[in-house]
Amino acid sequence: MVKPVRMAECKALIQQMRRKATSVDKAEKGLAKYETLRDLGAGAAGSVSLVRNKIDGKDYALKTINLTYLTERDRKNAESEVQFLRVLHGPTLIQFHESFIEKNNIYIAMEYAENGSLDQLIRKNLERGSRFKTEEIISYISQISLGVMAMHSKNILHRDIKTQNIFITKENILKIGDFGISRQLDSTNQKAVTACGTPYFMPPEVCQGMPYDSKADVWAVGVILYELITLKKPFDSESISGVFDKIVNQQLDPLPSDVDVNLRTLIAALLNKDYSKRPNIFDVAQIPCIRNAIEKFIDEHNCREDVAGHFTSNYKTNFNQEFENANKEANATNQQHNSEYEAEDGEVHV
C-alpha cells in the first residue's frame, strides 16, 4: 500500500535537492573548480598560475588577464588569444582547455608544460658550461617548425616567438605558447604593419618599420637556433636602439669551428636579412635534416594525422635545392679553411 505524501516533507526534499544542485553547479563552473597550487609567472599581459581542476584532477596553466585598465587594443589581443587557442591544434602547440570571464578577469586554462621553458633550459646549460648536441638542436628546431607550420597553414602569425614562449613537457616535447599578439592575415600574400614582439627576436624589416609577413616568425626561429648553438643571443646590446642597429646593419659573430655544416647553412638561411631570400617555414620543413627529424618525431609520437594539414600550403618554391647548393658551398669553404690551416701548420690534423 502506498503511503500518502506529506507536502511539507516533499518541499523540504525539493529544497535539499536544489541546494545540492546549486553547490555542484558552483563547483563545476568558473574559477571555483580550480585549486591554485603556485604562481608560474607574470608579465605585461597578465599572470599565470599552476592550478588543479577539482573535477578531472588534472593540472593546468591558468592565465589571468585583468580587463579593468586594458586599452581597446589589449582587449582585442586577449580575445584573439582565446580564439587562436581554440582553433590551433598540433602536438607542438600548447593546447586550450577552456576560458571564462569572472570578476572582470579573463581566465584561460591551458595545457601545463611541466619542464618549464626553453629559455630556462638554455640558462641551465649556460650555467653548466654544456652546449647542446647537434641532434638535440635539430630535434628542437624541427618541433618548433611543426608548431609554426600549424599556425602559418592557417595564415596566423605568432609575432612573438622566443625561447620564453617555447615550453617543454615532461615527455621533453617542445610546445609553442602565448598567442597574445598573434594575428591572422587574409591571405599568404598579405603583410602586417604593426611593429610588435620582443626586440631580440625581431627581423630587420620589423626593426625598420616595414611591412612584414610570416617570414618574420622564421627569423625568430633562426634567433632561437643561434642561441641553441652558442648559448647566447645573436644580436645583443645594452639598448633597444643598439639591438636594432645590430639586427639591421651588423653581421653575426662567427659560429664555433666545430658546428655542424647543416646548422651553419640553416643559420645563414633563417637569419638572412633580405626577407625575400629568407625561406618560409614550409621550405624549412623540407630541408633534409629538418624533414628527417620531423618524420622521426611523427613516428615516435604517432601523430601523423594530427600534422597532416600542416603540410598543405600555398607556398611553392625551389628553396630545398638552394639549401643543398649552399650546403655544398659551406662544405667546400670548410675544406678550404682546413687545407690552409694544415698547410700553415705543416702537420695533418685528424
Do residues 253 and 267 touch, judged by C-beta distance below 8 A? no
Q: d(Cα 260, Cα 280) in Å, to the nearest integer?
A: 22
| Proportion of the chain in helix, strand, coil states, percent, rounded to 5 | 50, 15, 35
- Least Cα distance to 196 among 166, 222, 220, 223 occurs for 220
Q: What backbone phi and psi angles, to 5 degrees, belong to 121? A: -65, -40
Cβ-based neighbours of 113, under 8 Å, separated by 6 or more:
61, 94, 167, 168, 169, 175, 177
Beta partners for 289? none
Q: d(Cα 218, Cα 6) in Å, to the nearest integer?
A: 74
End-to-end Cα separation, the chain, in angstroms: 101
- Least Cα distance to 106 among 36, 169, 159, 30 occurs for 30
- Least Cα distance to 266 among 282, 289, 243 occurs for 289
b/e per residue 177-210 (b: at least 16 CB within 10 A): bbbbbbbebeeeeeebeeeebbbbbbbbbbbeee
Cβ-based neighbours of 331, under 8 Å, separated by 6 or more:
261
Do residues 315 and 278 touch, judged by C-beta distance below 8 A? no
Angle between helical axes of 261-270 and 319-345 (0-180°, round to 10):
130
Q: Give the residue numbers marked as catalytic.
A: 160
Q: Which residue is it, cell 516533507?
A: 9
- Least Cα distance to 162 among 61, 108, 90, 234 occurs for 234
Calculate the alpha carbon distances from 50 to 59, 150, 163, 281 in Å: 7, 26, 20, 32
